[in-house]
Amino acid sequence: MKTVEEFERYFYRHLLAELSELEKERNKIRIGIIVIFAISVLLLVTLLCLFGRSLQMMASLCFFVLFLVGIGFFLLWNLLSAGISKGFVQRFKKTVIDGIVRFIEPSLTYNPKSYITWLDFQRSDLFRDRVDRYTGEDLVYGKYGETEIRLSEIKAEKKVRSSNKNATERWQTVFSGTFLIADFHKDFFGKTVIFPDFAERLFGPLGQAIQGMRLNRGELIKLENPEFEKYFVVYGSDQIESRYILSPSFMERLVTYRKKVGSQVYFSFVNSYIFIAIPTKRNLFEPNLLKNLTDFNHIKTYFEDLSLLIGAVEDLNLNTRIWSKQPYER
Amino acid sequence: MGTSLIFLLILVGIALLFIGVWNSFMRKKNRVHNASASLDAILKKRYDLIPNLTEVVKGYAAYEQAVLESVLRVRNEALRARTIEEKEHADGKIAKGIEEIFVIAEKYPNLKADRQFRFLQASLNEIEEQISAARRAYNATVLEINTAIAVFPLNLFAKLYRITAFPFFSATESEKRTPMV
């Protein structure tokens, strides 16, 4: 995996010129947004002045009207800024994200509008909730060493109806974050899923009993690595196959990767593929209009995020092909 | 009437406890046997590959006859092993023998480049990994029943039912040395 130092050299040699152009555009957008914001505030103040008397007379009603006006402005502001910055976002992704992906591995391809298919998401068997709305963006795909990978941002939601009288509907997130699929270096036929361990962490041995009760997930696989067991709970269709996948050193690699990510990570192993799901609220590949694009430390965060995701192949040693799954003869 | 009913309920309760503990031990014992059978099947896979491996090596390294014959002898011994201790011992010897064959291969570049030899090498790597997984699965079931036999009050039931601890299957020396990927 390329280092930050190497990326710094690449940044100054290849990215900076294009980023300077983008930075000018960002400044224009920023000014545009400030103007829209200023007009919104001005309108709000004017309305307050016009209806000042009414405010004193019917305070509660006026506050309600102002609240609605406020929401209206907020939506208008969002719409306008999104409209203005749409082209900018596309250019940013083409320059920065595509550039970083190619820098990390030239054989990888980036498509900002595509994403991991619903079928693949379902195939991972990580999230069994009903999904009514499925979207995504920022697909990176191709071969990293000997390993085929695909990763993208994904949002899967379901419609829920509240049980009260009004029975209002709202969207509940099933999964929102980054999803990665890679060709695993060993062949296997069953299914092994690894979830973050909440029960055992909270309730200790009692938690393990609760884990054992999740029968629809297959057999509970108790493994020998205490640190791994602290972070994860494993279910599998076959005790031996799950251990074949989760060799002692691979367990250590998963723990190290989990620590590197610094948040919950889900893994599953299905049909000789590894699926990795990292829930996050952050939109990893979007430009930040408030930050200077020519600042290396800012662009470095995109490199670090992408390195962490694509680097899973190296972190988990997926390029080592000494078992049944041999590298392709060239 | 009331006292005899309570007495009857206590008796039923005790009977259910004895049955429950017995069933639990039997389930654990069956899991050990099942894991042991799976381990045997995978060990057999390795033993079956050895004649092919020695045949290929013979074609390139006829002078190494003694090593090859000794590996075949160990393989035949391993096939006769019955208890876990015997299997563990035989497995250690087999692993050592295979290691010796690969050391021989280092001296013969043509052998190392042979397509079939490379295929057998990959298959053995694969089987080693499967043996390791099966060994760990077996040991997990042994740990479960041995813990049940050791802790109070289940140890009293274990004595009553004459259930004794099962032996673990240790990793071979080469397995301990080789960093698994």
Among B137, B140, B180, the residue with its CB nearest the CB of A249 is: B180
Closest Cα in chain A to B136: A243
Question: What is the spatial distance between Cα A126 and Cα A195, in angstroms, rounded to a whole number?
Answer: 8
Question: What is the spatial distance between Cα B12 and Cα B20, in angstroms, rounded to a whole number?
Answer: 12
A49-58, A271-280, B95-104 — which is least confidently predicted?
Answer: A49-58
A99-103, A149-153, A291-295 — which is least confidently predicted?
Answer: A291-295
B129, part of any domain: yes
Q: Tell me if A320 and B181 make a contact (CB, 8 A cut-off).
A: yes
Q: Tell me if A243 and B136 make a contact (CB, 8 A cut-off).
A: yes
B17, part of any domain: no
A28-32, B145-149, B169-173 — which is least confidently predicted?
Answer: B169-173
Among A224, A317, A323, the residue with its CB nearest the CB of B129 is: A323
A75-89, A142-156, A310-324, B31-45 — which is least confidently predicted?
Answer: A75-89
B177 touching A (Cβ < 8 Å): no
Question: What is the spatial distance between Cα B64 and Cα B98, in angstroms, rounded to a whole number?
Answer: 13
Mean pLDDT (whole number) for A25-38: 80
B181 touching A (Cβ < 8 Å): yes
Question: What is the spatial distance between Cα A88 and Cα A22, in angstroms, rounded to a whole number?
Answer: 8
Q: How confident is the model at residue B179 (pLDDT cuts 50, 70, 90)?
A: very low
Among A222, A240, A324, the residue with its CB nearest the CB of B133 is: A240
B117, part of any domain: yes
Chain A: closest CA distance from residue B128 (Å): 9
Chain-centroid distance of CA A141 in Å reads: 15
Q: Tell me if A240 and B179 make a contact (CB, 8 A cut-off).
A: no
B140 touching A (Cβ < 8 Å): yes
What is the per-residue pLDDT for A329? 44
Interval A82-97: pLDDT, tens = 666 678 888 899 999 9
B93, part of any domain: yes
Kindly state the helix (H) or strand (E) to which residue A91 belongs, with its residue range: helix A59-92
Q: Tell me if B130 and A324 make a contact (CB, 8 A cut-off).
A: no
Kindly state the helix (H) or strand (E) to which residue B131 belongs, with its residue range: helix B115-150
Residue B124's CATH number: 1.20.1440.20
B126 touching A (Cβ < 8 Å): yes
What is the per-residue pLDDT for A54? 59
pLDDT of A151 above 90: yes
For the whole model, what pTM was predicted? 0.81
Mean pLDDT (whole number) for B4-14: 93
B178 touching A (Cβ < 8 Å): no
What is the per-residue pLDDT for A330? 37
What is the per-residue pLDDT for A78? 67
B-interface mutation test, from A323, A326, A328, A329, most B Cβ less than 10 A away: A323
The mean pLDDT of chain B is 88
Chain A: closest CA distance from residue B3 (Å): 36
Q: Tell me if A186 and B129 make a contact (CB, 8 A cut-off).
A: yes
Number of domains in chain B: 1
B166, part of any domain: yes
Other residues' Cβ atoms within 10 Å of the Cβ of residue B150: 11
Instruction: Please provide the DSSP assignment of B44-101 as one string.
Output: HHHHHHHHHHHHHHHHH-GGGHHHHHHHHHHHHHHHH--SHHHHHHHHHHHHHHHHHH
B97, part of any domain: yes
B153 touching A (Cβ < 8 Å): no
Chain B: closest CA distance from residue A208 (Å): 14
What is the per-residue pLDDT for A324? 60
Closest Cα in chain A to B176: A248
Looking at beta carbons, which residues of chain B come within 8 Å of A186?
A: 126, 129
Mean pLDDT (whole number) for B141-165: 93
The mean pLDDT of chain A is 85
What is the per-residue pLDDT for B180? 45
Q: What percent of chain B is modeled with pLDDT above 70?
A: 94
B58 touching A (Cβ < 8 Å): no
Q: What percent of chain A is modeled with pLDDT above 90?
A: 50
How is residue A182 written in tokens? 């890679």
* ipTM for this prediction: 0.78
Instruction: Please provide the DSSP assignment of B166-177 as one string.
Output: PPP-PPPHHHHH
- In terms of pLDDT, which residue wins out, B171 or A53? B171
Chain B: closest CA distance from residue A330 (Å): 15
Cβ neighbours of residue A245 closer than 8 Å, sequence gap 6 or more: A184, A186, A188, A192, A269
Q: Please tell me the total number of residues recorded for chain B in this structure.
A: 181
Chain B: closest CA distance from residue A125 (Å): 23
Looking at beta carbons, which residues of chain B come within 8 Å of A241?
A: 133
B11, part of any domain: no
B70 touching A (Cβ < 8 Å): no
Instruction: Please provide the DSSP assignment of A59-88 as one string.
Output: HHHHHHHHHHHHHHHHHHHHHHHHHHHHHH
Domain that holds residue B109: 31-177
Residues of chain A with a CB closer than 8 angstroms to some CB in chain B: 186, 222, 224, 239-244, 247-250, 317, 320, 322-324, 326
Q: How confident is the model at residue B58 (pLDDT cuts 50, 70, 90)?
A: confident
Looking at beta carbons, which residues of chain A come within 8 Å of B180?
A: 247-250
What is the per-residue pLDDT for A146? 87
Question: What is the spatial distance between Cα A239 and Cα A110, in angstroms, rounded to a whole number?
Answer: 38
Closest Cα in chain B to A326: B122
Q: Which of B26, B24, B161, B142 is nearest to B85 (CA)?
A: B142
B16, part of any domain: no
- In terms of pLDDT, which residue wins out, A221 or B60? A221
Interval A167-190: pLDDT, tens = 788 899 999 999 999 999 888 889
